[in-house]
Structure 1
Amino acid sequence: MQEPAEIGIDEQGRVQLSLGLLAEAGITPGAELVAFSDGDGRIVLRRHEDAVRDLLERGHL
């Protein structure tokens, strides 16, 4: 696991994630992601296909 890195949020609410962090998570530039709040200051990013698969397995779609 890489060392945590501080990132900022610009005026439009955008963040930039390092290529190393993306690679570690198995996410490639241009990937479609789903974002959701996990409460208490956490935002979770999931690959779209993984999030859909999880929902299908749980019977939510």
Structure 2
Amino acid sequence: MNKRIRAIIGTTCSLVLCIFGIYSLITASSSVIPAVLFAIGGFIGFIGGIYDLKNLDIA
């Protein structure tokens, strides 16, 4: 598996984590702290994945 595919998979999974965290916050589930951690961690991972994809050599 090359670096580009790993970065795409990581970015996608981080986005899913962020969306799941935000959904848990909106639906007001019983535990707020894990939902906040999922949302923040997924967002940071998504930004990091976008940064990795921009810095990859296309050649």
Settle same-fold status: TM greater than 0.5.
Answer: no
Q: Which structure features the higher share of helix residues?
A: 2
**Per chain length, whose mean CA-contact separation is higher, i.e. which structure has more relative contact order (CA < 8 Å, sep 6+)?**
2
TM-score normalised to structure 1 length: 0.29
TM-score, normalisation: structure 2? 0.29
